[in-house]
Chains A and B, each alone.
Chain A
Amino acid sequence: MNKSVTIDREGLNQLIIVLGGMGFQVVGPTVRDEAIVYEKLGSIKDLPEGFTDEQDGGIYRLKRRQDQSLFGYAVGPHSWKKFLHPPERRLWQADSEGSDFEIKPEKLDTTKFAFIGVRSCEMHAIAIQDKVFINDKFVDPVYQVRRENAFFVAVNCGQAGGTCFCVSMNTGPKVEAGFDLALTEVLENDRHYFVVEVGSKKGEACVKQMTHQQAQKEEIAQAENVVKETAGQMGRSLNTTDIKGLLYENLEHPRWDDIAERCLSCANCTMVCPTCFCSTVEDVTDITGTHAERWQKWDSCFTMDFTYLHGGEVRASTKSRYRQWLTHKLASWQDQFGSSGCVGCGRCITWCPPGIDFTEEVPKIRDSETQSLKMS
């Protein structure tokens, strides 16, 4: 942390205002409907002050903290993909003239977002979606422009959530790259401050407009300690050793049937996952039939018609859908994009109604393999 500075709560408030002044739409965590979600922020008053969350398989509850912490919780149901890869967007419009028609490409919405409170796992998730939408064969111009314009104020986690396993996925809890500013929130005795690591020129320009001090050695040490403690709190982990081979070789494992008895095929896991990127398209026309539009919407490999082909679904059973989701996330993602599709954020566990937890399911498959090796 060479270029670190410290700011207090007022400094953080200034940051939100400065970013707004720079033309950014500032978004970050706030409390709505008894959850911490990512929405527009006007000031630090919108942040979930004094809140934390209790998370476990199928469980999410907001709770009061004993302090005034602003980032004292883990990730909620939202992720930043809703801004970079919007849940619904019009792709283009077309108007017919007689037997002919003209296609009108969509104007590129170049809204500049400043994201406040991006966690390390989420920075990794964004880097993973970059590979899908920017760094592969084709480029999604909407994602690309939003991504390039975005300003990242990351936050190092001050506590692990109940379903987190980023340490075992090598994706946190400390933010390593991609940020403009990275904050660590420190609460000691009656002092509440943030150690700010500067990660870019844009970040540096912001800091100059905020009240700040050069960070002292002790402050930096305190901040490092916060992250270290978080890393030690992870309640879950996933052994990823040759996980690709493990899943590819166990496509017919009986455990998939067992999971299918609990899975509701509700698609929650895919909606909350910060890397899931699947979408569908919908064609709409107006009542005159002369105006048509095509919309893109988030889709899920758990939905009924996702694999519809020639009068039927390729993946008709819940078992095959769950297998597809998990095998994609942890195995085939590696073949497709050179990394795991999982960042260990735990959302899919928390928001799964029956609380299916793949950090428990994968070991079941792995253990049975070890078992059968011993037998033979």
Chain B
Amino acid sequence: METTMQSPMTPWPYRIEKVIRETHDTFSLNVVPKDSSRGMTFNPGQFNMLYAFGVGEVPISISGPKPGEQGMIHTIRDVGVVTGALHQLKKDQTVGLRGPFGSAWPIEESKGYDIVIMAGGIGLAPLRPALYALLDQRDKFGEIVLLYGVRKPEDLLFTKEFETWRGKYGVQVKLTVDTADREWRGNVGVVNTLIQRADFDPINTVAMICGPEVMMRFAVSELKRQEVPENQIFITMERNMKCAVGFCGHCQFGPAFICKDGPIFRYDKVKQFFGIREI
């Protein structure tokens, strides 16, 4: 007896609807399923496994679109073999896709709170759908703060949207860079220094953070200093990942599998392991 069964390890074909150049090394792919039975629904913060033919598969968080728009957008930094191969792809070409996987930002649970979003580098990508969801129901939330740090001004993502977020929705968008160039008139320094300049009520704030571990460590300690409760701080973890479904064991972080228990964790639930070297 031989049967075929769709394994969670088998990708589905998706068509590239649009390629968007974001920065010098970062691009976005908006994809739609070739098989109409496959959905495009996801929760803000979730990720997909994207496969480039013959090269390999990588976990990429979903960075859009806005609610009600077509497709799933993946914002990718060209840093490796697979992301490099994905970078070569053009409109109407095919990628393999498995997902969406993983936990989501607590949008519903955060109603009535002030929101502080902190992003480092490409960490803004998985936070953008959270912002879209928050702005979609803007009146349900108090202050919304976006603190965003990158290495150099040219690394800033989604810059065209900052004015809309500021102007139309009253988001406090604060930017900083590690190294400025001559044209940069904004802040210079690490992103956690922006916390003190933002206006929010710490006790009544939900913080959502995505960036390098070291950046998150400083961000959490500054938020705690401001008395944001630990169980209102959400961080994202990243580890090597092969399967995204809890089989391969690569993404373990203490007792958590980042693929199925994360990538978004409530800080108090993982703090025992957060920051331990080589954990």
The finding on whether chains A and B are genuine partners in a shared complex, rather than unrelated, reads yes
Which residues of A are at the interface with B, using a C-beta cutoff of 8 A?
91-92, 94, 96, 99-103, 105-110, 132-133, 136-142, 145, 248, 251-252, 277-281, 283, 285, 289, 292, 294, 296, 299, 301, 305-310, 314-317, 319-320, 324, 328, 331-332, 335-336
Closest to B93 in A: A99
Q: Does B9 contact A (CB under 8 A)?
A: yes
Evaluate contact between B278 and A316: CB separation under 8 angstroms.
yes
Complex contacts, B248 vs chain A, CB 8 Å: 278-281, 299
Task: Tell me whether B10 and A103 are in contact (CB under 8 A).
Answer: yes
CB contacts (< 8 Å) of A132 on chain B: these are 246-247
Q: Are A307 and B96 in contact (CB under 8 A)?
A: no
Q: Is the CB of A251 within 8 A of B240?
A: no
Alpha-carbon distance between A281 and B150 when the two chains are bound, in angstroms? 33
Give min CB distance, A321 to chain B, whole Å.
8
Contact assessment for A320 and B277 in the assembled complex, using a CB-CB cutoff below 8 Å:
yes
Task: Check B54 against A96 for contact (C-beta < 8 Å).
Answer: yes
Partner-binding segment picked from B23-31, B40-48, B140-148, B249-257:
B249-257
A105 and B5 CA atoms in complex are apart in Å by 8
**Nearest-Cβ distance from residue B157 to partner chain A, whole angstroms:** 18
Given contacts A279-B248, A283-B55, A315-B278, A110 and B2 within 8 Å (CB-CB): yes
CB distance from B117 to the nearest CB of A (A): 23
Given A96-B54, A100-B94, A292-B53, verify A336-B7 contact (CB < 8 Å).
no
B245 contacts A137, CB within 8 Å? yes
Q: How many A-B residue pairs have CB under 8 A?
A: 141
A132 to B260, CA, bound (A): 12
Q: Is A141 within 8 A of B7, CB to CB?
A: yes
B21, CB-defined interface residue at 8 Å: no
Residues of B within 8 A of A133 (CB): 247
| A227–chain B nearest beta-carbon distance, Å | 34
Q: Given A140-B7, A141-B7, A314-B278, do A279 and B247 touch, yes or no (CB 8 Å)?
A: yes
Inter-chain contacts of B239 with A (CB < 8 A): 307, 309, 314
Interface residues of B in 92-150 (CB under 8 A from A): 92-94, 96
Majority secondary structure, A binding face: mixed
Inter-chain pairs besides A141-B5, A278-B248, A307-B240, 4 sampled, C-beta below 8 Å: A94-B96, A307-B239, A324-B279, A336-B255
- Minimum CB–CB distance for A146 against chain B, Å: 13
Residues 157-171 of chain B: 1 if any A CB is under 8 Å from the residue's CB, otherwise 0?
A: 000000000000000
Would you call B238 an interface residue if the criterion is a C-beta within 8 Å of the partner chain's C-beta atoms?
A: yes
Q: Out of A252, A306, A331, A332, name the residue touching B240 (CB < 8 Å).
A: A306
Q: Is A299 touching B56 in the complex (CB atoms < 8 A)? A: no
Least CB distance, B248 to chain A, in whole angstroms? 5
Residue in B8, B13, B56, B249 whose CB lies within 8 Å of A278: B249
Residue pair B242, A281 in contact (C-beta under 8 Å): yes
Chain A residues with CB below 8 A from B252, complex form: 301, 324, 328, 332
Query: Across the interface, do A139 and B238 meet the contact criterion of CB distance under 8 Å?
Result: no
Q: Return the contact of A108 from the options B5, B11, B278 (Cβ within 8 A).
A: B5
| Bound CA span A277–B242, Å | 13
Partner of B4, one of A101, A108, A139, A277: A108
Q: Say yes or no: B5 contacts A299, CB within 8 Å.
A: no
- A248 CB to nearest B CB, Å: 7
**Which 9 pairs between the two chains have the least Cβ-Cβ distance?**
A278-B249, A320-B278, A335-B255, A138-B245, A332-B255, A292-B54, A285-B54, A141-B5, A138-B8
Bound form: Cα–Cα A100–B91 in Å: 11
Q: Are A277 and B249 in contact (CB under 8 A)?
A: yes
CB-contacts of B55-112 with A (<8 A): 55-57, 79, 90, 92-94, 96
Chain A residues lying within 8 Å of B79, measured Cβ to Cβ, are 310
Q: Residues of A contacting B242 with CB < 8 Å?
A: 279-281, 299
Whether the pair B243, A281 counts as a contact (CB closer than 8 A) is: yes
Residues of A within 8 A of B96 (CB): 94, 101, 103
